[in-house]
Structure 1
Amino acid sequence: MTQTDICHCPVTLSSSSALEDWNSVVLGVLSHGRETPVHLGRLMDTAPDFAMGHAARGLFCLMTGRAEVIPAARAALTEARNCAASSNITAREQGWISALAHWLDGSPSAAVETIEQILRALPYDTISAKLSHGIRFMLGDSAGMRTSVERILSAHGDDHACRGYLLGSHAFTLEETGEYVLAEKTGREGLSLAADDAWGLHAVAHVYDVTVQPDNGIALIDQNTAAWQGSNNFRYHVWWHKALLHMERGELDVALGLYDAQIRAEKTDDYRDISNATSLLMRLELEGMDVGPRWEELADFSEARVEDGCLVFADLHYLLALAGAERGAARDRMTARFARDASKSGEMAARVDAPGTAAIAGLNAFSEGRYDAAFLNLAAARPLMSTIGGSRAQRDVFERITIDSGLRAGRYDATAAILRDRLAQRGGTIDRFAATRFEKLNTSRGIAAQ
């Protein structure tokens, strides 16, 4: 039996309760809700032959970026295919199965294209749009994210229950591609329609970060708690954004307090939580703050991830923890694994090769005080760093390390060029980091001239 879900799309479910559970999964994914796994579990108990549900489980496993869930994702693919073989499923549902298969075969870009084919036929399919958005985010494809969303915006009219969430995704793509005024407007409009859209709220927080409006950013987060308090661990990322905004105001102690009270309130090893934590500690250390023994807890988790190799973005943040805690042997093992992975074929191996190997060499050199080698390697990696995934705000920690390496190495002209390029990418607004580094640059040049 085929019914119509909250996205106005056909779904092969036979009972109203199963449809209700599926709609709850959809809304949970769109809002980053913490009860999403519960809804999916209930759905699969009610409708164990629902092929798309099994495919969804597999895809959600892969989005965690953890090597140990790959067997579960493969098992989900087998279940999905078995269910599809014994029932007449929709093209949309088959597309999700195919997307899972492509990703497991090492081609996330083929998975994205499969999802985009669904969206060409069903442009009002918000959950498929969110899936494409999420995979592209992991691939660092900001332009593709924007194109994908804008292609289907007109199909999400005022009568579409998920319009607010799509606007939140659009706001994020606008911010990542430099359209800051429109990103703020779109994100706030989305929040007015979907008050629990953590992703949309965080898109506007990005705008206030890059345009250096920390007061507005902090007020946004404080005044829209409904958007993120009920979310899954994404709420820690919202706290991370708030910490960055306090850093912009020079309130380093407040940022460190948020680290202890919120960002690491739950000691998880999710790579997204580790990236929040390591990048904040690194930023604070670059500003001269002693963060104490906090690296140790992160390094314990990161050392267990040395062989994961799912995402370069995750690996480089694990490395920050290992360097911060002076786990030299673990850093060496990760460096050796990068060298092995770089010689393999496939999309992710290509990212390990470039920019991964140069980036890891640069970070290792920085941690050892070899600043010239750090700068040369990080500067070489810089043109391709967007391909490791994440947002520009998240990758900015590597920009900062690159710039500080150049300053410490005395490579003033090359560092000045990177500072100017970073400034241009941020719309020309000078943040606290840029202001202090330009000042250090001018001072160092003066001393060198004397």
Structure 2
Amino acid sequence: STRDRPARVMSHWSEADPEYSYILGMQAFGMEEAGHYQQAEARALQCVSLNPKDTWGVHALAHCYEMQGKTKNGISFMQDCEDKWANNNYLSIHNRWHLSLYWIENCEFETALQMHDQYMAVSPQSEMMDMHDSAALLWRLHLDGVDVGERWVPAANNYENYLDQAYMPFNDMHAMMSMVATGRDQQADKLVAALEDNLDGSTASSDIIKLAGLPIVKGIRAFGRADYETAKTLLANARHNAHMIGGSIAQRDVINLTLLEAAIRSGDQSMANGLLAERTLMKPSSPLSDMFGARANAAVAD
């Protein structure tokens, strides 16, 4: 695993090695994804103290603060070292995305939207990873009740080029968000059909599609059609297999958020309260959770 591979070689490295920070950063991210948040945070802090320009270490620490609900720490850290991680590198946009998650957690949606427009707006030349960051942020803002207008269109245009590949369900999940948001029903059909065509093979890819990818993609489509009961069933049954599709825990949290909003919109207060209890376990002080909770109560009252 990403946690264990660096551990196997750690004894061969020391702070005397100029590239030692990269081993620390890799291990910090692996430890965070395995749930060892405090140890991961210590590793990531050691990494960025040795090399403030190690953007993977910055990324690992951003994850640690996100998963522990340390929103204030995350914003402060990312802003204080912005000149170190925000230059022309592979992770600069993605680290902006992580900073935006903190703004969303604080319900500062306009700030998150401004960051999207300044750093994550998709062009025909955008890399797939950058398209995912845009789609994931816009979908979260949509769930939060923010009108994001036509910002979906460039990403949807790009994703259309990959709908028949069924290469990685993590990609397909974000592609479906953009198809739903732009009302592209035929393209959504094409994406579902591509996944179904690869459903019954003997490869690991087929198992992933069957257990996680297809129900998640279809659940997002059902949500877009306001079929919240179907969305709840599909997403609830697949979300604990979601690690199979790729991406990080923070990235896959959009599945839980979509399920939560589907529960609220269908008046299912029991499910909404259960999902909010899960979030509160790691994020006991969250304006975003408070907002969803208030909406869940209001939906039942109505």
Short-chain TM bin: over 0.9
Task: Tell me how far apart the structure 2 counterparts of residues 192 and 266 of structure 1 sit (CA, whole Å).
Answer: 35
Separation (CA, whole Å) in 2 of partners of 1:173 and 1:429: 24
Give the secondary structure class of the aligned counterpart of 1:399. helix
Q: Equivalent residue for 2:183? A: 326
Equivalent residue runs for 1:391-406 within 5 Å: 391-406=248-263
Q: CA deviation at 1:399?
A: 0.9
C-alpha separation in 2, matches of 1:223 and 1:189: 16
When normalised by structure 1's length, the TM-score is: 0.63
* Aligned counterpart, 1:292: 149
Residue aligning to 2:80: 223
Consecutive unaligned residues of structure 2, counting only runs of 5 or more, are: none
Partner of residue 137, structure 2 = 280
Q: Is the 8 A contact 2:122 2:155 kept in 1?
A: no
Cα shift at 1:285: 1.0
Secondary structure of the residue aligned to 1:309 is: coil
Q: Tell which structure's C-alpha radius of gyration is larger.
A: 1
AA in 2 matched with 1:276: D
1:392-446 deviation per Cα after TM superposition (whole angstroms, max 9, x unaligned): 111111110011111212333233333333444xx3534333222233334444x
User: Which amino acid letter does the alignment assign opposite residue 334 of structure 1?
Assistant: L
Residues 362 and 300 of structure 1: CA distance in aligned 2, closer, same or farther (over 3 Å) = same
Q: Equivalent residues in 2 for 1:126-205 (5 A)?
A: 144-205=1-62
Question: Can you list the C-alpha shifts for 1:11-50, whole angstroms capped at 9, x where unaligned?
Answer: xxxxxxxxxxxxxxxxxxxxxxxxxxxxxxxxxxxxxxxx
Spell out, residue by residue over 1:188-225, the C-alpha distance to the aligned partner (whole angstroms, 9 max, x if none): 11012222211110111122222333332222222223
CA RMSD of aligned residues (A): 1.9
Query: For the residues of structure 2 that align with 1:205 and 1:389, how far apart are their CA atoms?
Result: 19
TM-score by length of 2: 0.93
- Deviations, residues 304-335 of structure 1 (Å, cap 9, x unaligned): 11012221101110111111111110000000
- Contact 2:265/2:299 (<8 A) preserved: no
Q: Give runs of aligned pairs for residues 250-269 of structure 1, distance below 5 A.
A: 250-264=107-121, 267-269=124-126
Q: Specify the alignment match of 2:207 in structure 1.
A: 350
Amino acid at match of 1:270: E
Q: Is the 8 A contact 1:354 1:381 kept in 2?
A: yes
Q: Deviations over 1:373-398 (max 9, x none)?
A: 11111101111001111111111111
The Cα of 1:226 is off from its aligned counterpart by 4.9
Query: What is the letter of the counterpart of residue 429 of structure 1?
Result: P
Judging changes above 3 Å, is the alpha-carbon distance between structure 1 residues 358 and 430 closer, same or farther for their aligned structure 2 residues? farther
Picking from 213, 217, 237, the partner of 1:380 is 237
Q: Which amino acid aligns with 1:168?
A: G
Equivalent-residue separation in structure 2 for 1:351 and 1:317 (angstroms): 16
- Percentage of pairs with the same residue: 27
**Count of matched residue positions in the alignment of Structure 1 and Structure 2:** 302
Checking the alignment, whether the CA contact within 8 Å between 2:208 and 2:245 is kept in structure 1 is yes
Q: 1:439 aligns with which of 259, 283, 294?
A: 294
Amino acid of the structure 2 residue aligned with 1:346 = T
Aligned to 1:368: 225
1:312/1:352 contact within 8 Å kept: yes
Match of 2:171 among 302, 311, 314: 314
Structure 1 alignment gaps of length 5 or more: 1-143
SS at match of 2:2: helix
Paired amino acid for 1:377: L
| 1:63-90 alpha-carbon deviations (Å, 9 max, x no partner) | xxxxxxxxxxxxxxxxxxxxxxxxxxxx
- Name the amino acid aligned to 2:166: G
Question: Residue 410 of structure 1 aligns with which residue?
Answer: 267
Paired AA for residue 288 in structure 2: F
Cα deviation, 1:248-275, whole Å, max 9, x if unaligned, reads 2222111111111112275544221111
CA distance in 2, matches of 1:243, 1:225: 13
1:299 Cα offset (Å): 0.6
3-state SS in 2 of match to 1:320 = helix
* 2-structure distance, mates of 1:155, 1:266: 43
Contact 1:201 1:227 in 2 (8 A): no
Using the alignment, how far apart are the partners of 1:444 and 1:419 within structure 2?
A: 15
Q: How many Å separate the matches in 2 of 1:382 and 1:338? A: 17
Match of 2:70 in 1: 213
Measure, in 2, the Cα distance between the counterparts of 1:363 and 1:149.
Answer: 36
Distance in 2 between residues matched to 1:170 and 1:281, nearest whole Å: 30
Distance 1:428 1:289, change over 3 A: closer
Paired AA for residue 27 in structure 2 = H
Give, in whole Å, the separation in 1 of the partners of 2:65 and 2:246.
21
CA 1:186–1:266: 2 relative to 1, 3 Å: farther
Q: Does 1:390 align with 2:252?
A: no
1:151 is displaced (CA, Å) by 2.5
- Structure 1 residues 371 and 381 mapped into 2: Cα distance closer, same or farther (>3 Å)? same
